[in-house]
Amino acid sequence: LKYIGRFAPSPTGPLHFGSLVAAVASYCDAKANNGKWLLRIEDLDKPREVSGATQTILLQLACFGFIWDDEIIYQSERTFIYQAALNALSKQKLTYPCTCSRKEIADAATHKGIEGAIYPGTCLHERIKLHAPIAWRIKAPDSVIAFEDRIQGKQSQNIAQDIGDYVLKRVDQLFAYQLAVVVDDADQHITHVVRGVDLLNSTARQIYLQQSLQLTSVQYAHIPVVTNAQGEKLSKQTLAPAINSHNAAEELCYALQFLNQNPPEYLKRESLTTIWDWAIDHWSIAKIQPNINNCI
C-alpha cells in the first residue's frame, strides 16, 4: 500500500472542532489516495487521561461516519516496545540519565529555546544524584534537520540550538510523546502524517529519532489549528466544546469549510455518506493555506 495514514487522539476529553478538523483532513487525504486510515489512542499520559474519554471519542468518530481500518492501537499497552526503542538508542550511546528537577533546570539554564529553557546538559557532564528518580534524555544533534511539509513548505531546525537534549522517558517513568509517536508510526507502517500545525515544531525531533532507530521516514502535512475568538488553540484547557454527534452533517461541512475545500451550501442537508463521497472526491490538500490561524 502506498498510503497509510492515521489519526492519533489523546483521551484527555471528547473531540472538539479542532480535533474533528484534524480527523477529517487525515481521513480525506488517506481515502483520496486510496490509502488506509488507522486509529491510535495516545493514552500514554495516564495522569492527564479523562476516564471514559476513549469510549466517547470512538463513539463520536463512528457517529460522524469515520471508518477506520485494522485494529486500534493503544499506547498504554506498548510500554515494552518503547523501552526496547530506548534501549536501542542507549546502546548507541545517544542517551543519558537525568536527575534534575524542573527548578534545577530553570536555575541552571542559560539559553532559551523555542520551548523555554534549554537543558544545560548538567547530567551529561556531572555525576547524577543517587536515589533520585531518573529521566532519560537524548543528546540533541547540532546540525540542521530539513524536511518538506506538504502544506507548510520547506522546514528546518537545529535541535541543539532550538530545543536542546530532549526527554524520551520522564521522571515518572512514562515514555514521552516524541518517542512513542515515532515507534508507533513505524509499527503501523504509516507513510503520511496529517496533523495540526502545533506539532510542526516536534517534527525535527521525530525525524531525528526515526533516523537514529533506522526507521523509514514519513511525509508530513501540518494543517492550521483552529483557534477561539481569543486566538487560543481549541483544547480542553481552553474549554472547547465537544463536537455534536446530533449535528454531524453540518459540523462535517464546517470542518471542510475550515480546510478551504469549499463545500456547496446544500451539502449540510445531505446524508453523511453523500458528504463523505463529496469530500473525498473533491479533496485538494493544495487548497489548505499554510499556517493561518482561523477563528471558528
* Min separation Cβ 240 and ligand GLU, Å: 13
259 near Zn ion, rule: CB under 5 A: no
* Min separation Cβ 98 and Zn ion, Å: 3
Q: Which of residues 123-182 bind ligand GLU (CB under 6 A)?
A: 181
Longest dimension (CA), the chain: 67
Do strands 112-113 and 116-117 pair parallel, antiparallel, or not at all (unpaired)?
antiparallel
Nearest to 176 by CA among 214, 138, 224, 120: 138
- CB nearer to Zn ion: give 174 or 256: 174
Where does this chain touch Zn ion (CB under 5 A) — which range of 24-32, 39-47, 98-106, 258-266? 98-106
Where does this chain touch ligand GLU (CB under 6 A) — which range of 7-15, 103-111, 211-219, 239-247? 7-15
Cβ–Cβ < 8 Å for 235, 16: yes
CA–CA distance, 24 with 183 (Å, rounded to integer):
24
Type of residue found at 138:
I
203 near ligand GLU, rule: CB under 6 A: no
CA–CA distance, 267 with 252 (Å, rounded to integer):
10
8 near ligand GLU, rule: CB under 6 A: yes
**Please, is 65 exposed, middle or buried when counting C-beta atoms within 10 Å of its C-beta (0-12, 13-18, 19+)?**
middle
Q: Which of ligand GLU, Zn ion, none lies near 9, with the C-beta cut-off 5 to 8 A by kind?
A: ligand GLU
For residues 220-239, one letter each, b for 16 or more C-beta atoms within 10 angstroms of the residue's C-beta and e for the rest, the string is bbbbbbbbbeeeebbbeeee
CA–CA distance, 205 with 263 (Å, rounded to integer):
36
Q: Which of residues 40-69 bind ligand GLU (CB under 6 A)?
A: 42
- CB nearer to Zn ion: give 98 or 223: 98
* Min separation Cβ 138 and Zn ion, Å: 13
Cβ–Cβ < 8 Å for 200, 156: no
195 near ligand GLU, rule: CB under 6 A: yes
Q: Using CB under 5 A as the criterion, what x/- string covers residues 106-145 for binding Zn ion? A: ----------------xx----------------------
Q: Which of Zn ion, ligand GLU, none lies near 32, with the C-beta cut-off 5 to 8 A by kind?
A: none
Residues in touch with ligand GLU (CB under 6 A): 8-10, 42, 181, 195, 199
